[in-house]
């Protein structure tokens, strides 16, 4: 299960969220407009979408994390030394856990729509993804 279900679930979710970020670089979908998007996804009260370059970079980082997961799991051929991929996997774990646990501090001063979604979806999802990536990293360390 650690070599099949966990890395595949992590990969699928990271790719899906990465693709959402690509969409958000150019569109407020699934929200109807930029104001609703900014309040719900960004937590700010304005009518501006996040800068497209940074949104695309986040999407690339998420999809890169998915590819890294598959490389560390030996599902696809790895690039670079194995120890560096493993360090990257532990780094991904730390970043996801930091966003998940630190995300609750983002609620202060944020729009109420964002606070609700951050408390019940965004932060718990990041913690769950951090745990899954940690499981992949530890399993790879033991091989």
Distance (Å, whole) CA 133 – CA 68: 10
Cα gap 64→60, rounded to integer Å: 6
Handedness of CA 76, 81, 82, 83 (dihedral sign): negative
Burial of 136 (0-12, 13-18, 19+ CB in 10 A): buried
Q: Report if pTM > 0.85.
A: yes
Tell me, what's the pLDDT at 74? 93
Q: What local confidence, expressed as pLDDT, does residue 72 receive?
A: 96
- Is-contact 89 10, C-beta < 8 A? no
Picking from 92, 91, 123, the residue whose alpha carbon sits closest to that of residue 106 is 123
Structure confidence at residue 2 (pLDDT): 74
Distance CA 9, CA 17 (A): 12
Residues of the chain with pLDDT under 50: none
Per-residue confidence (pLDDT) for residue 47, from 0 to 100: 82
Tens of pLDDT, residue by residue over 50-78, are: 999 999 999 999 999 999 999 999 999 99
Question: Would you kindly state where each structural domain of the chain is located, as residue ranges?
Answer: 5-141
DSSP string, 21-84: HHHHTT--TTSSSHHHHIIIII--SSS-PPPHHHHHHHHHHHHHHHHHHHHHTTSS---S-HHH
pLDDT for 48: 86
- Tell me how far apart the alpha carbons of residues 99 and 124 are, in angstroms, rounded to a whole number: 10
């Amino acid at each position: 299960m650690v070599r099949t279900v966990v890395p595949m679930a992590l990969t699928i979710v990271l790719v899906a969220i990465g693709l959402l970020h690509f969409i958000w670089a150019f569109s407020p979908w699934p929200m109807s407009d930029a104001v609703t998007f900014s309040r719900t996804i960004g937590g700010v009260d304005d009518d501006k979408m996040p800068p497209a370059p940074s949104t695309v970079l986040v999407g690339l980082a998420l999809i890169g994390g998915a590819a890294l997961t598959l490389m560390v799991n030996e599902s696809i051929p790895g690039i670079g030394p194995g120890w560096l991929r493993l360090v990257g996997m532990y780094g991904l774990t730390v970043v996801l856990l930091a966003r998940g646990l630190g995300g609750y501090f983002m609620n202060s001063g944020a729009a109420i729509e964002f606070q609700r979604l951050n408390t019940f979806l965004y932060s718990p999802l990041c913690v769950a993804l951090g745990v899954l990536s940690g499981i992949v990293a530890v399993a790879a360390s033991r091989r």
